[in-house]
Structure 1
Amino acid sequence: MSQLDTAHRPRRPFALLGSELALVFRRRRTWATLGALALVPVLIAIAVRLTTDGSSGGPAFLGDITNNGLFVAFTALTVSIPLFLPLTVGVVSGDTVAGEASHGTIRYLLVAPTGRLRFVLVKYAGAVAFCLAATLLVVLVGAAVGAMLFPIGPVTLLSGTQVGGWSYAGRAVLLALYVTLSMLGLAAIGLFASTLTTVPVGAMAATVVLAGVSQVLDQLPQLDWLHPFLFSHRWLGFGDLLRDPISFDSFGSNAVLQLGYVAVFGALAYGRFATKDVLS
């Protein structure tokens, strides 16, 4: 496999990363998952367009969308966080190492112990790149379809103040970065699960199930003490980015939480991979 060969070329330190990114985004499965995510804002916009005339009485977000198409991106991102994004991230991260093992290419890296840390880092970087691409895609498609089907104008923030379209676009980018950050812990869990098996589907399923379990536990009041430690606890905590002035308190808290999971499960993934026997 080409990226495995380039891992041993010291004069091209980023060749393996470039090869991994190309591998991730050339797969039909990746484009299929991205296409499914792109349908979320499209379906939301079409459903709102066909089922409401902008009058009051329906859910609040319906009125927001019909009054301003820019809200399609925000609504689609909010809808995608609990299920669709974790599902796609679980698929990609669960395939990182297990996919190589299932194709029999991982054994070429196992004979070079000095390359194992870089291999794990590059595989995780590929998963992170997918998280960023997926969230930006939802935002961009949502903004585009919203502009086509609904009027565009100043956006009323949660604090009650209004901002122009370009200012809201900057906040939409921050929302995408917040959601990408929220997926980092799950991607690290998927990477670790991927080192435990040679069957990618098993690692994918385990990662997706853990995402669901974490969200269920986060809804149980009897487990209030556990909630702050769940990687999904702050997935929807981006309200501070929609206030004036912007507060980055939730962003910082989410970063600490997610980076903690990255550190723990990244170390576990490397520890497992560093001692992995040649199985394929």
Structure 2
Amino acid sequence: MMNHVTFAFDTNRFETGHAGLAPMTATLMPLGKIGSLEARLATSEAEIEAAQKLRFSVFYEELGATRQTAHRLDQRDADRFDSICDHLLVFDTALPGPSANQIVGCYRLLRQETADATGGFYSADEFEFNTLVARHPTLNFLELGRSCVLPAYRSKRTIELLWQAIWAYVKHHGIDVMAGCASFHGTIPAAHAEALSFLAHHCTGEGDWAVRAVAERFAPMDLMPAEAINAKAALAAMPPLVKGYLRLGAKFGEGCVIDHDFGTTDVFVVLPVSAISERYITYYGGGA
């Protein structure tokens, strides 16, 4: 999607957080904790570099992303957005060594005020995200992306921990809407025909919440008629992240985008905080 850009970190920002960011980002206090796993925001350049290496390990070495040579040379997945985003990290505190060696998962968070000041949202390259935001001038958006967890930690427990931490972040910053890309592995939408068709027929945002893939990258998702879909099979075929969004009440954009660099088929997720069931707010809020 986005070209690799070399950037320099301002080490001073880890003392006070990003521009405009509350001191929450500079603390080591976990935003969520389950057993030996803790989730908090990155507080050092070393932790962000470790997250980039983790992303490289999963996206490039495991899943076969084929972007630029520069990524392979420094063994990091990095772009210009890393220097402006908050990085939510999952640590296994039972592992030895410094905190950077304990990172087993990551998520990248970009708040609307930062995106507005620095050139927009990452997902706008694939979906008409800016149109959606403009339609809701009184709401505060948060883009979530670059979700990545090591194979040994891909469990319900890790997903629940991430949602604990995201909920704490959402409440702290007064976020009204969470949005961003989620991915199906592979570049052939037909391989996910039932799951994509289920989203297209039953989970597409409407009215003010409608959003489309950009015209030049639009690929249809309604690959099967609604009556031919086995809902149980479709849900079972969803990536865990997509299933998690569905449980919380998310809607999806119209059309998907094939990302040949990452070898994925991307869908757009829209989750207004007001749509989240009270039982999930109680569940995740209680542990955050």
Same fold (TM over 0.5): no
Q: Which has the higher contact order (CA 8 A, sep 6+)?
A: 1
Instruction: Report which of the two has the higher share of strand.
Output: 2
Alignment TM class, shorter chain as reference: under 0.3
Instruction: Report which of the two has the higher share of helix.
Output: 1
In the superposition, the TM-score normalised over structure 1's length comes to 0.26
